[in-house]
Structure 1
Amino acid sequence: MPDGKKRDLAALASIPLIMTLANSMLIPVLPLMQKKLQISSVQSSLIITLYAVVSIPCIPIAGYLSDRFGRKRIILIGLLLACIGGVVSGLAAWLMGVHAYGMILIGRIIQGIGAAGAFPIVLPLVGDMFKNEEEVSKGLGMIETSNTFGKVLSPILGSALALVVWYLPLAIIPIISLISVILILIFVKAPKSSKSNSLTLKKLFQIIKPIIAREGRWLYAVFTIGGMAMFVMFGFLYFLSTHLEERYHLNGIWKGMLLSIPLIAICLASYLTGKWVSDNKSTMRWCTVAGTTILSAAMIVCGFAPLAGKIFLLSLLFIGGIGIGITLPSLDALITEGIEKEQRGTLSSLYSSARFIGVASGPLVASLLLKHQSSMFYMYGGVGLACALLALWAIKPDQKDKARKGTA
């Protein structure tokens, strides 16, 4: 990989890192925010959920706009909106105290709109930057690793910042967003497309309709599995944050470090899987099946042992994290390498929307099931098993490749 491309990729990797910090950094602080703002656990989960919910309809729009007007331009607009939303939430928490909850949510909504135009556009841009499929897979592995590294860093950094003042994790988001804006402006040179400006919405639907008709089965499967993986991950992270504080009275950096344990597993597994799958779509399929099966097994054992000690629980969540880390980069590679460049932004954005549905619903569902730990983990186990069976049934790389060649 040329040095110039490495710099581009490093700058792009800052986006999932920073967007992940903007959301996951708040997870360990939610119980503290709940006390400071005098709100319920369900209300505190909305600080995470609303950010993701508003992104869901905006992501496909951003994908279409990136196909038409250029990926770099849309990414920069998204990052600036995320910065503005962070200013709104941070100032509200600082100036309004216990009455800040409503304005914090408004700021989070603005951030969610911005996030829709940032990280989801990175995936198709990486696909545009490289012609060699093996380099695309490695690039996507680096992006997914940056995403999961942000999740590893988030609980530690969020807990540390909250020790200074409880709203500092909110207030720092505009600063880190601006860092990413500067990196993108300086280093990223997005490939130009002569077709992008002539791609109207009507033409896009005319192009996408036969793709969905021909390859809808595996596309829908990838969308579903990606969303369910994020649903389980954000659900058990919300549960773990609350569980460590309420049962073991752990706070601050120590709690953040424990929260990062399953995320370290996701990060390492994502990095290694991204390198290993290369451009082999059959390997991507079997990694998806293996990853979701591992996740399912770990969650079911958690359900059998609801009163187990924290070391046993963290060990199982670490194993579950390995399963998620194997799954996500495989899905990223399938969706990016399986779609032609001209439609990649829109279809990758639909995939990102599906993932954000999981991000949005995970903490909310977990907050409702906090007193039913066994049932929650059995549900996660069933979700993982269903995803493994879906991958086996729907993702058929050989058939998919033959279908594409037949229409070429």
Structure 2
Amino acid sequence: MTKKLGMFMKNKSFLMLIIGLLPLVMVLGNSMLIPILPVMEEELNISAVEVGFLLSVFSIVAAIVIPVVGFLSDRYGRKKIVLISLIFVMIGSIITIVAGKGVSDPFRWIVIGRVLQGIGAGGTAPLAMALVGDLFSGQERSKNLGALEVFNGIGKVFSPFIGALAALIFWYSAFYVYFIISLLAFIGIYFSVNSVVQEKYNESLSSYGRMLVSVLKKEGNWIFPLSFLASAGLFILFGLLVYLSFEIERIFAVDGIFKGSVFTIPLGALTAVSYWTGKQIGEDHSYMKKLLLIGSAIVLGALVFLVFSPTFSSLIFGVTMIGMGVGFTLPCINTLITSSVGGKERGLIVSLYGMIRFLGVAFGPIFFAVWMVEVVDMFVKAAFLFLFMSIWVITALKMNINLFARKEIKRG
């Protein structure tokens, strides 16, 4: 019986299910709170910008930690660092639960808990991508990287329901759920991910820094544009979800299932398109570039539409289209970055990419909480930001038109 259970836990499908919990942990850390932001504002007696900060502090800390986690995972092994990261998430969750129950200055204690959660989250989704890069190759790798985006999307789809429904009991009960999911991920990773073939590197931190500079000089002209395009897409998507949460509260003054269901429309579009894209792209870099351009065009078109039609129904449609556009771009960027570098460089580049990408998630809520005072101006700023990033990527792709093909040939 024990042997059969062990074999089941080494099954590739089950392994991907367990690894998929890691991006789920990162996503739940913010998406679960989006529907209850107005409730948190009222319960904690804080401003909308401070509420946005509770989302952003988690993401900012995670973004800062990601490169350090990449270095540590290269040196000590990905599994060990993932488990330590999940412990940080669970400790942070306990602190936020206690703060929600009632302490003096609960906002300060929740910020402390969110910082610890962010430290832990920095070692979840990015290392999940590195694990898939270590475990799989070729079309199987692109398929499973697409699957990670599906887990990411599933978390985004269901976490608003979880947060909204939890708020019907007490607003901080969402942190109980976060603790339980993190514990399940810890148990799953501990027992199943113990056969990862990973070459470990024992360079010093200074050597690691020199390697980073060397890699960026060689690869930075395409890594940075792709990474910042992904970051901009998530910046806009998460920022608009925060705006949408306050708009639902302002217009309908409701919580629970209705409020949670509204968020499933754009996030469901993101999930479905990410899944389709991950299955379709394979190793075809030319196709990835086409889908990148299509996704970028959809995001820009949706933002321009919202500039001229900033109504609530238009907002739902526009954010849904943005979710679709981001769904086209993220799996392509993930695959281009993870498959175009290998060995020692992969953990380094994936960590850098994860940091830049997550900074978009971090700053979106803060910027849009400030920008939403002038709604039309908010959409204009977002459109110009994404337009700049898209032009940067198009220029980079033209300059490096044969880069990825050469790398594939060299590795083959």
Band the TM-score falls in, shorter-chain normalisation: over 0.9
Identify the residue that residue 281 of structure 1 maps to in structure 2: 285
Q: 1:199 to 1:246 in 2, by over 3 A?
A: same
Q: Secondary structure at the match of 1:22?
A: helix
More displaced stretch, 199-208 vs 360-369: 199-208
Structure 2 residue identity aligned to 1:344:
R
The structural deviation recorded for 1:325 is 0.7
Q: Which residue of 1 aligns with 2:56?
A: 49
Residues 1:234 and 2:241 are matched in the alignment:
no
148-157 or 184-193: bigger deviation: 184-193
> SS at 1:336's partner residue?
helix
Q: What corresponds to 1:171 in structure 2?
A: 176
Does 2:260 correspond to 1:256? Answer: yes
The one-character-per-residue Cα deviations of 1:89-148 (angstroms, maximum 9, x if unpaired) are: 111111327x31110000000000011111111111100001x31111001000011001
Shift of 1:371: 2.0
Corresponding residue number in structure 1 for 2:5: none
After TM superposition, the structure 1 = structure 2 runs for residues 4-403 of structure 1, keeping only pairs within 5 Å, are 4-96=11-103, 99-130=105-136, 132-193=137-198, 195-306=199-310, 308=311, 310-395=312-397, 396-402=400-406
Judge conservation of contact 1:79–1:118 (CA < 8 Å) in 2: yes
> Shift of residue 153 of structure 1?
0.6
CA distance in 1, matches of 2:139, 2:407: 21
Which residue in the other structure is 2:3 paired with?
none
Partner Cα separation in structure 1 for residue 148 and residue 407 of structure 2: 29
Divergent runs of 4+, >4 A = 403-408
Give yes or no for contact 2:201–2:344 (8 Å, CA) kept in 1. Answer: no
Letter in 2 for 1:330: C
Structure 1 residues not aligned, in runs of 5+: none
Deviation of 1:206 after TM superposition, in Å, equals 4.3
* Distance in 1 separating the partners of 2:368 and 2:210: 40
Q: 244-253 or 328-337: which moved more? A: 244-253
Q: How far has the Cα of 1:248 moved from its partner?
A: 2.8
Structure 1 position 189, deviation (Å): 3.0
**CA distance in structure 2 between the partners assigned to 1:406 and 1:24 by the alignment:** 41
For residue 189 of structure 1, give the secondary structure of its aligned residue in structure 2. coil
In 2: Cα distance, 1:391 partner to 1:276 partner: 21
**TM-score where L is the length of structure 1:** 0.94
Does the 8 Å contact 1:223/1:354 carry over to 2?
A: yes
AA aligned to 2:130 is P
Name the amino acid aligned to 1:382: F
What SS class does the counterpart of residue 63 from structure 1 fall into?
A: helix
Q: Aligned equivalents of 2:12 and 2:411: distance in 1?
A: 32
- Residue 188 of structure 1 and its aligned partner are, at CA, apart by 1.7
Mapped contact 1:204–1:343 kept (Cα < 8 A): no
**Using the alignment, how far apart are the partners of 1:247 and 1:380 within structure 2?**
23
TM score, norm. by length of structure 2: 0.93
Instruction: Report if aligned partners of 1:125, 1:190 keep a CA contact under 8 Å in 2.
Output: no
Structure 2 counterpart of 1:179, which letter? L
Give the Cα separation in 2 of the matches to 1:33 and 1:88. 16
* Aligned-residue offset at 1:392: 1.3
